[in-house]
Amino acid sequence: MALDYPTLPGDIDHLIADDHAIVERQFQHLEAGRGNRRVLVDQVAFELALHAFAEETVLYPIWTEIGMTDEHDDAEHEHQEIKELLVVLGRTEPGEQEFEEALAKLIGVVRHHVDDEETDELPEFRRKAGPDRMAQLGREFLAAKRQAPTRPHPHAPDEGIAERIAGMLAKPLDHVRDLLSGKQKEMATDASGLLDPQAQAIVDAHSSLGPLPVEILEPDQARKQPGPDDAVKKVMADRGIEGPEPVGSVEDIVIPDAAGGQMRMRVYQPADAGPEPLPVVFWIHGGGWVLFDIDTYDASCRGLTDKARAMVVSPDYRRAPEAVFPAAHDDVLTAYRWVVQHAAELGGDPARIGIGGESVGGTMAAATVLQLAQAGEPVPAAAVCVYPLTTGEQVGESMADAADGRPLNRALLSWMAMHAFEGKPDAAADPRVDLLGWGREQLAVMPPTLVVTGERDVLRSQGQRFAENLQAAGVPTTHRYYPGVMHEFFGAAAVLDKAEQAQQEAAQHFVRAFGAARPPVGVAPSGRTVR
């Protein structure tokens, strides 16, 4: 199920619905008999433990204040039943009769609880408490979750008063957490059984590093967690694979940002480039506008440098919440214009520039093309959008069937939007974010475009729709769908064959466009204008 009324990503009812969607998909894996049954149940227990604690300390006390006493009593009764079943599941093993009976009962109780909350209780709560209160309660909901984890971790927040206030209420939760002690290195993996073995090894490696759930942390805490690049490096180290991939040279330079300050930009040159000006790939890193930087996506840039025999440049734009939307977009546009003006100084060919990126980097690649066209400036020769976010809405099948995906699940997607658009409630409707809202004239300015999507990715469906829209508008479009892989797979070419294939595909897409983009001597490239 899903809420049938509009919410913002940081609203408490939105966050609760995200949790519900994740657990529901894990239940579906269990019912289908796929994946690692023990790990799936442990992950469900962890999700429900944090969720229950946060609801009981933030949401339910308000229900009694605003006259929702019966709803409060029913919800607490169901939570108690859920916790007791989780304790049974923690001390028994899959295949045992007591385990399987408890699991079947848990699935039934949780689904009934979710139906009540999403159909009746949360809509009633929103009406009585008022929509303006939802965002503050959402922040308190996440703060309560941060209090719930008790396992030691170098970047874990300190325990605070919320847990002590809960008193007797939290005792069943403590039992659940005790049963999960020592299992934290399984909590961040994808236990669905739907990933191919190479991709599974990467998410297992990431989980083995013991990250806390990013979607409950503050941004500064979240940035200290292991990233997708750390997972790949661990697999490489375990297999004795040397890295990083060698290129001719790597240099960080400083260029102006859009706010009168400065930003880093990394410039990659291929080996044995020769004296001729190189084609340029302008590559934009991802991270939901909040996480990660150019270091995280170094492997992608190195791969494209070698495979396309091109100069790759990657800007380190400002991130939210320190600089909310549209700061990152403004920086990317500023950096692209700087590259056009200074490409020759770097050894690049300003007539042969392509643009691309991963995740919201793919979003910003397309948005930059639109802005250039609207300004009457030349657009890039080609675009590559790797699993892009193309709408702020939760649309498409992947929002349900990949709700529990790792490293990007539905809750983390909302967390990113919550911070990226803080104080900008209309940002998701901006054309620079809502690519699915583009009309035919806007779509038609895109150069030949490659869209890459992966199976276990909440953004899969919206990426596919963007590709379909581009094709319908007459843009030469290639959509490449990779089964059995997760969000952030593109940079893992050293240990993942499908990432190597995707990088080769992206490089060849640029190479073909660069061949067609070279103008006759003395003829400047022209741009397309959107009216």
For residue 367, with 0-12 CB atoms within 10 Å meaning exposed, 13-18 middle and 19 or more buried, which class applies? buried
Q: How many Å separate Cα 400 from the centre of its chain?
A: 15
What average pLDDT does range 482-506 have in this prediction?
Answer: 98
**What's 52-120 look like in SS3?**
HHHHHHHHHHHHHHCCCHHHHHHHHHHHHHHHHHHHHHHHCCCCCHHHHHHHHHHHHHHHHHHHHHHHH
Written as one letter, the residue type at 476 is P
Task: Give catalytic residues, as residue numbers.
Answer: 359, 457, 487
Amino acid residing at 149: P
Question: In this structure, are residues 478 and 508 in contact, taking their beta carbons and an 8 Å threshold?
Answer: no
Q: What is the pLDDT of residues 261-298, one digit of tens each?
A: 999 999 999 998 888 999 999 999 999 999 999 999 99
**At the topology level of CATH, where does 249-517 sit?**
Rossmann fold (3.40.50)
Report the chain's mean pLDDT, rounded to a whole number. Answer: 90
Tell me which long-range contacts 512-515 makes (C-beta under 8 A, separation of at least 24).
Answer: 512/382, 512/448, 513/354, 513/381, 513/382, 513/447, 513/448, 514/279, 514/308, 514/310, 514/352, 514/354, 514/381, 514/382
The pLDDT assigned to 376 comes to 97
Mean pLDDT of 25-52: 94
| Per-residue pLDDT band at 1 (split at 50, 70, 90) | low
71-99 pLDDT, tens per residue? Answer: 989 998 998 899 889 989 989 999 999 99
The confidence score (pLDDT) of residue 182 equals 60
Stretch 305-316: mean pLDDT = 98
Averaged pLDDT for residues 477-491 = 98
Cis link prior to 277 (omega < 30° from 0)?
A: no
Per-residue pLDDT averaged across 5-10, rounded? 90
β-bridge pairing 311-315 and 278-284: parallel
Dist. CA 49–CA 181, nearest whole Å: 13
Q: What is the pLDDT of residue 210?
A: 87
Give the pLDDT band (50/70/90) at residue 186: confident
Q: Where are the alpha helices (DSSP H) in 273-316?
A: 298-308
Backbone angles phi, psi at 437, to 5 degrees: -90, 0
**In the numeric block, which tokens belong to residue 416?**
């990113």
Question: Measured in Å, how far apart are the chain's first and last C-alpha atoms?
Answer: 41
Q: How confident is the model at residue 163 (pLDDT cuts 50, 70, 90)?
A: very low
Tokens, residue 301: 């840039």
Name the more confident of 145 and 173.
145
- Evaluate if residue 160 carries a pLDDT over 50: no
Q: Is the dihedral of CA 45, 49, 55, 60 positive or negative?
A: positive
pLDDT, average across residues 358-383: 98
Residue 17: exposure state from Cβ atoms within 10 A (0-12, 13-18, ≥19): buried
Q: Are 388 and 364 in contact (CB under 8 A)?
A: no
Comparing 174 with 383, the larger pLDDT belongs to 383
Stretch(es) of the chain classified as CATH 3.40.50.1820? 249-517
The whole-angstrom separation of Cα 289 and Cα 323 is: 9
Q: Diameter of the chain by CA atoms?
A: 79
Instruction: Return the pLDDT at 518.
Output: 54
pLDDT, position 517: 63
pLDDT tier at 174, thresholds 50, 70, 90: low
3-state secondary structure of 461: helix
Of residues 392 and 530, more confidently modeled: 392
Q: What residues are paired with 478 via a beta bridge? A: 450
- What confidence score (pLDDT) does residue 147 get? 79
Among 276, 113, 264, 142, which Cα is nearest to 212's?
A: 142
Residue 155, pLDDT > 60, answer: no
Using a 10 angstrom Cβ sphere, with 0-12 exposed, 13-18 middle and 19 or more buried, the burial of residue 305 is buried
The DSSP output letter for 158 is P
Query: Which pair of structure tokens corresponds to residue 250?
Result: 């790597």
- Name the helix (H) or strand (E) containing 269: strand 262-269
Compute the residue count for the chain. Answer: 531
- What DSSP line would sit under 420-437, residue for residue? HTTT-TTGGGSTTT-GGG
- What confidence score (pLDDT) does residue 329 get? 98
> For residues 200 and 208, what is the distance between their CA atoms, to the nearest angstrom?
12
Structure tokens at 123: 């809509």
Provide the CB-side half-sphere exposure for 27 (13 A, CA): 20
Q: For 202-244, how does the pLDDT look when each residue is reduced to its tens digit (9 = 90+)? A: 999 999 998 889 999 999 999 999 999 999 999 999 999 999 9
Predicted local confidence at residue 521, as pLDDT: 36
Over range 31-50, report the average pLDDT: 94
Contact, 479 vs 451, CB < 8 A? yes
Is the CB of residue 370 less than 8 Å from the CB of residue 377? Answer: no
pLDDT in tens, 321-370: 999 999 999 999 999 999 999 999 999 999 999 999 999 999 999 999 99
289 versus 3: which is more confidently predicted? 289
Please, which pLDDT band fits residue 530 given cuts at 50, 70 and 90? very low
**pLDDT at position 241:** 97
* Mean pLDDT for the stretch of residues 110-132: 94
488 pLDDT exceeds 80?
A: yes
At 49, give phi and psi (nearest 5°). Answer: -65, -50
- Residues with Cβ < 8 Å from 84, sequence gap 6 or more? 172
- Helical H segments across 375-438, by residue range: 398-401, 410-420
Residue partners of 23: CB distance under 8 A and separation at least 6 = 44, 47, 48, 51, 110, 404
pLDDT at 161: 33
**162 pLDDT higher than 50:** no
